[in-house]
Amino acid sequence: MFMRIDHVGIACHDLEEKIAFFERTFELTVVAREVNTEQGVKEAMLHIADGEGGGSYIQLLEPLSPDTPVGKFLTRRGEGVHHVAFGVPDVVQALDTIGGRGVRLLDERPRHGSMGSSIAFLHPKDVGGMLTELVQAPERQAETMSNARNADT
Ligand code: MC0
């Protein structure tokens, strides 16, 4: 089901300061920046490597306000690992399978994620305390749409 670790999301108070640290210390490069109002974050993706079905990244997350998921996390726990995201070939299918195995889905349907991806979250309490994200990379979305079209014909 999981093809790779797509990214590790890290909550921080100051995105620019944290980007500078990761660039300077680990020689990583920012490949995308986005403000995602639906998720309440300003974020940056730093490229690590390329893998099956997409790349893997460190994702730095600064909350847009204290009453967002990342804002609440920072208040409660301080800076640190907020979630782990796994690349899947088909996020709708993965949600269906995982939900059927009793894990609570925070998203019944995929939402818009970094760099054009489709994402969905699983409840941390059902995954050993780890907020888990499923990610379908954009190239995979084109593939599943084309498979669905072929199945229709
Ligand atoms: C909360 N909990 C966590 C957690 N956040 N555990 C592990 N990792 C986290 N990040 C724990 C709390 O400590 C609490 O445990 C329990 O979960 C229930 O929390 P809650 O009181 O319901 O807390 P809320 O209201 O903050 O909700 C938590 C929840 C929420 C995970 C349901 O944050 C959520 O729906 N997250 C999914 C969306 C998201 O995180 N978006 C931001 C990243 P106790 O033991 O105290 O009961 S967006 C993103 O990453 C996008 C841009 C992308 O990747 O492309």
Residue type, position 90, single letter = D
Structure tokens at 93: 């299918």
For residue 37, the enclosing domain spans 4-152
Q: Which atom of ligand 1 is nearest to the CA of 115?
A: 55
- The structural domain count of the chain equals 1
Q: Is 11 in the pocket of ligand 1 (CB under 6 A)?
A: no
CATH number of the domain encompassing residue 89: 3.10.180.10
pTM for the full predicted model: 0.93
Q: How far is the CA of 71 from the centre of ligand 1 (A)?
A: 10
- Classify residue 116 by its DSSP letter: G
**Which pLDDT tens digit goes with each residue over 41-53?**
999 999 999 987 8
Closest CA to 137 of 73, 23, 51, 26: 51
| Element of type H or E holding 7 | strand 4-11
Question: Does the CB atom of residue 111 touch ligand 1 within 6 A?
Answer: no
Question: Ligand 1: does its nearest atom lie under 6 Å from the Cβ of 95?
Answer: no
CA of 82 to the centre of ligand 1 (A): 8
Question: pLDDT digits over 112-123, tens only?
Answer: 999 999 999 999
